[in-house]
Structure 1
Amino acid sequence: MGFGVRQFELALMHRMRDLDAARVEDALEDMGATRAELRAAHTQWTAMAHSVRAPKGRAMFRTVLGPPAYEGVHQVGSLMCDVARWSLPSWPDLQFEVLLGPGGEVWNQWFVRPGGAKPLSFADLVAWSCVVADIGDAFPGASHIEGSAPHHWTVGFTHEGTPYHARFVYGLFQRLDRAV
């Protein structure tokens, strides 16, 4: 089985099922995909990521997704790193960003909004509608918290005196939980 954009999206959704299984089921139906395809895509992506023969870093993403929609340089502290972004059909307003270290290793991979964060209200927090930067900008004092699994991320913030945790997978909003 070849591995392209569709399979990559399914591999991303496999991890998203951890936090929002219902949303992933809806997406599978929209794509005409099955749970078996989802599992197969995840298995194949994982095998490619750990294979000694598969391309690494940007080359792996380029092989699967084609040329990036954007390539540039980004400063992180005192280091300069490469950035590559791809547009994906299931998330047309976003891009999947890969941040690469000086040796070409993948430092981070997640969804971003080209052009910067969009203004949000609390009511706008709907699954798959926003990214980490959107919530960070919309709620002053938001704090970033490491997620509970690979590619998970959490942003803590307070709204009308109640603390919340916005949960993300690959930087894409999945659900909102009251913080305890």
Structure 2
Amino acid sequence: MAFGVREFELALMHRMRDLNAGKVEEALHGMGASRAELREAHTHWTRLAHAPRGPKGAAAVRMALGPAPYRGKRPAGSLTCDVLRWPLPSWPGLEFELLVGPGGEAWNQWFVRPSGGAALAFTDLLPWTCVVADLGASFPRAAQLEGGAPHHWTVDFPHGGATYRARFVYGLLQCLNDAPQGAALT
């Protein structure tokens, strides 16, 4: 199996399935892909990541997606990291961003809105259309928490007298629920 854009998207969806299996099934149907193809893409990507001589960090993502259409720099403390971004067909209007440290290691990888976080109404918080920065731009008291697995993020935020919990995979909204009782915002 060659590993290109389609396989990369499927590998991302494999992790997204943890929180939003229905949306992944919908996407698979739209792509004409099977669950077996999803599993194979994930297995292939995992094998590449752990292969002693396989590409690592930015090189691995470039192998799948080609050269990044957007390249920039961003300060990270006392260091500066490279910013690489790629549009992906399954998520129009968003881009997959890779923050790369000195030596080519991937520091972070997630979806972003190229123009930065957008201020959205509560009713606009729909799975696969929002990124973590959107919650910060839309709800100033939003608090980021650790996610339950690699590449998972959780954001709690108040709205209309209640506290909600948004769960993300690769920075892309997967689901929105009431926050557990006792969730406190600072």
Residue equivalent to 1:115: 115
Structure 1 CA distance for aligned equivalents of residues 93 and 35 of structure 2: 25
State the AA in 2 paired with 1:92: P
Identity across matched positions, percent: 64
Counterparts in 2 of 1:79-98, with a 5 A limit?
79-98=79-98
Corresponding residue SS for 1:155: strand
Runs of 4+ in 1 over 3 A off after TM superposition: none
Deviations 1:92-139 (A, max 9, x none): 211100111122111100000001112201101111011000111100
Shift of 1:73: 0.7
Residue equivalent to 1:106: 106
Residue equivalent to 2:183: none
Deviations 1:42-66 (A, max 9, x none): 0000110111111112111111100
Unaligned runs of 5+ in 1: none
Shift of 1:79: 1.7
Structure 2 CA distance for aligned equivalents of residues 178 and 26 of structure 1: 24
Structure 1 CA distance for aligned equivalents of residues 20 and 76 of structure 2: 31
Alignment coverage as a number of residue pairs: 180
Corresponding residue SS for 2:137: helix
Residue equivalent to 1:74: 74
Counterparts in 2 of 1:128-167, with a 5 A limit?
128-167=128-167
Deviations 1:129-165 (A, max 9, x none): 1100011110011111110001000111011111111
Corresponding residue SS for 2:80: strand
Shift of 1:24: 0.4
After superposing the two structures, state which structure 1 stretch, 57-66 or 38-47, moved more.
57-66
TM-score, with length taken from structure 2: 0.95
Corresponding residue SS for 2:92: strand
State the AA in 1 paired with 2:90: S
Unaligned runs of 5+ in 2: 181-186
Structure 1 CA distance for aligned equivalents of residues 164 and 77 of structure 2: 29
Deviations 1:9-64 (A, max 9, x none): 00000000000000000000000000000000000001101111111121111111
CA-based RMSD: 0.8
State the AA in 1 paired with 2:150: P
Structure 2 CA distance for aligned equivalents of residues 72 and 54 of structure 1: 25
Corresponding residue SS for 1:49: helix
TM-score, with length taken from structure 1: 0.98
